[in-house]
Amino acid sequence: MSHTKKAIVIGAGIAGLASAIRLSVQGFEVSVFEKNNYPGGKLSEFKLDGFQFDAGPSLFTQPENIEELFSLAGEPIEEFFQYQSLPISFKYFYDDGTVINAYTNNQAFAEELESKTGEKKERLLTYLEGSKKLYQNIAGLFLNNSLHQIKTLFSPGVAKAIATLRRKYLFKSMHELNAAHFTQPHTIQIFDRFATYNGSNPFQAPGMLSLIPHLELNQGTFYPKGGMISITNALYKLALKKGIRFHFSEPIERIIVNENKAVGVVVNRKNIFANIVVSNMDVYFTYQRLLLDHSSATEVLKQERSSSALIFYWGMDHSFPELELHNIFFTKDYQAEFESLFKSKKAYADPTIYVNITCKIEPGLQAPMGKENWFVMVNAPANMGQDWLQFRAQYRAAIIEKLHKILGVDLEAMIQVEEVLDPVIIESRTDSYMGSLYGTSSNSKMAAFLRHPNFSKKIKNLYFVGGSVHPGGGIPLCLKSASIMSKMVAKDFKEK
């Protein structure tokens, strides 16, 4: 009779939690080591003077990724987690006074675009149908499997997938594709924005990214009861129920490699051995710090880093009935904003602003009645040693000026409490190199194939998950990285 297989997961971020659950279901005894004193990584929360804020990701799509984990674990999801669908995904505001509701009902959204901008309804419906087909034919294959194993490239679905792939998705940028399809600048800007979902530039990223709107507009946008932190809480409770052991405030010092095989980790100067090691830490730091493999770390840096973010958490002494859960206030010149993000890497004078207000869905729970919890985010360049105190001041002033102009209120006077998150703090808390939210950007046609694989080509029994590796950043893709990894482990450890 064989001994229990042991697995060590480095990092209790969302991909680390999902990995631990999947490995436990496969029969591994799982230990998770986390340098912070809480689970969730970027998907965390904090409270400030009666206001509750989700600290990181704020958009919830593809709940089936979470449902799958509960199904695999044989536990009823409703005892851990509830969510609801939203009629409006985003509310968009423009400097010229135009306001557009992006309804999750495609017909309603098409009518909204036509009435507000003159964009013909058929254009939206055709685009979303194309986005759906692209996702169904391509994404299912590439987001659920490794791109770094020959068997994927020769699997039955690949020939069909490639046959459905039109040249425009590969050879046009996302912006070129959108500009060729839509006629109105307001619509083009809405669909260019989806490149930011993986920290990329729509003027460089391939048209392939036009599959992203399918998740939000065709499949639906959702809100988890209790805020985004409830995703972390649900997976953490499920992991505990499956007997997974968590070691908080215990950073890994080194991965132990013997004869090109990962055999454990060093924690608090003690050796802890396991059959496999899964790193949910940024792949750059995994090589640099835990493996002391500087050449592999340098190789990772050949890929352009994704953008980061600057976030202001504001407790507002006022309520705004004209705002929704998700709100976007667009810049006048999107191309100039992306040039600033990826080329000059400076603060931009007229940033696009995202305002998330969870108390819109659960009044009185996350902010006192009559007040609102604002999560205010602008895209920011990755950290390269810029003066972030100066950037904070510049962005804060720009945000207040823009929102004052559009909403017509003295916003600054309404800010009751404030907290700030910048790329330097993001890196220190979550070990995301340079504060990049999504690891590498997708600003090239081959970006998907250049992302780091979910396994080590040099070290056996070492696997990688999370936003810095395939298939990418954001909650859905991080959860898929855990699925891909677990399939590899199942195959590698299949009893002969």
* pLDDT confidence band for 439 (50 / 70 / 90): confident
Cα separation of 173 and 164, whole Å?
Answer: 18
Q: Which two tokens stand for residue 231?
A: 């995703």
2 has a pLDDT exceeding 70 = no
Can you tell me the mean pLDDT for 58-84? 97
Rounded to the nearest integer, the mean pLDDT of the chain is 92
pLDDT digits (tens, 9 = 90+) for 15-69: 999 999 999 999 999 999 999 999 999 999 999 999 999 999 999 999 999 999 9
When pLDDT is cut at 50, 70 and 90, the band that residue 305 belongs to is confident
Which stretch of 57-61, 141-145, 228-232, 332-336 has the lowest confidence by average pLDDT? 141-145
Domain ranges across the chain:
5-43+228-303+451-492, 109-216, 304-430
Contacts of 244 by beta carbon, 8 Å cutoff, 6+ apart: 20, 21, 24, 30, 31, 32
Torsion of CA 312, 316, 322, 327, to 10 degrees: 10
> What whole-number distance in Å separates Cα of residue 79 and Cα of residue 96?
47
pLDDT of residue 306: 86
Three-state DSSP state, 249: coil
- The answer on pLDDT for 421 being more than 90 is yes
pTM reported for the whole predicted model:
0.94
Quickly name the fold that domain 5-43+228-303+451-492 has. Answer: FAD/NAD(P)-binding domain (3.50.50)
pLDDT tens digits, one per residue of 442-485? 666 555 556 899 999 999 999 999 999 999 889 999 999 999 99
263-297 pLDDT per residue, tens: 999 999 999 999 999 999 999 999 999 999 999 99
In the structure encoding, which two tokens stand for residue 123, read together? 């254009």
**How confident is residue 147, by pLDDT bands cut at 50, 70 and 90?**
low
CB 65 within 8 A of CB 480: yes
